[in-house]
Amino acid sequence: VYKKNFILYPEETMEISINANLNLYSPLKISFSIGEKDQKLDSILEDNTLWIQKNKNQSKLYLVSDLDSQTLGINNLPLNLISSSSYENLEFSNENSFIFHLLTPEALPENNSIFILPPKNSKIIKFEESFGLKHLTFWDENHPLLSYINFNTFKPQAKFHFKKDYWHNSILQSADGSVLLAGTKNKNRYAFMAFDVFPYQPKKRKSNGIFLLNLINWLNPDKLNTNYNETYSNFNFTKNNLEFLSEKGLEEITLNSLNLFTPKEPGIIYQSKKAINAINFLEPSESNLKEKDSILINIKAKKVKKEKKTNSFVYILSLILLILLLFHYFLVCRK
Contact status, residue 123 vs residue 142, Cβ threshold 8 Å = no
pTM beyond 0.75: no
- CA pair distance 137, 95, nearest whole angstrom: 36
Contact status, residue 225 vs residue 244, Cβ threshold 8 Å = no
User: Which residue, among 85, 64, 66, 99, has the nearest Cα to 223 in the 3D structure?
Assistant: 99
H or E element at residue 331:
none
Dihedral of alpha carbons 38, 44, 46, 50, sign? negative
Residues 6 or more apart in contact with residue 83 via CB below 8 angstroms: 64, 65, 66
Residues 6 or more apart in contact with residue 313 via CB below 8 angstroms: none
CA 36 to mean position of chain CA atoms: 31
- CA pair distance 186, 192, nearest whole angstrom: 17
- CA pair distance 15, 226, nearest whole angstrom: 17
- CA pair distance 94, 112, nearest whole angstrom: 9
> Where does residue 116 fall: left (phi above 0), alpha (psi -120 to 50 degrees), or beta otherwise?
beta
What string of pLDDT tens digits covers the 335 residues of the chain? 556 677 777 666 666 666 555 554 566 777 777 777 776 766 666 677 777 766 555 678 999 999 999 999 998 788 999 999 999 888 777 778 999 999 999 999 989 999 999 999 999 999 987 766 667 888 888 899 998 888 888 888 888 999 999 999 999 998 888 999 999 998 889 999 999 999 998 888 888 888 998 998 888 765 545 556 778 888 887 777 888 888 888 889 888 878 888 888 888 888 887 777 888 876 555 445 454 444 343 433 434 444 444 556 666 777 777 777 766 666 655 55
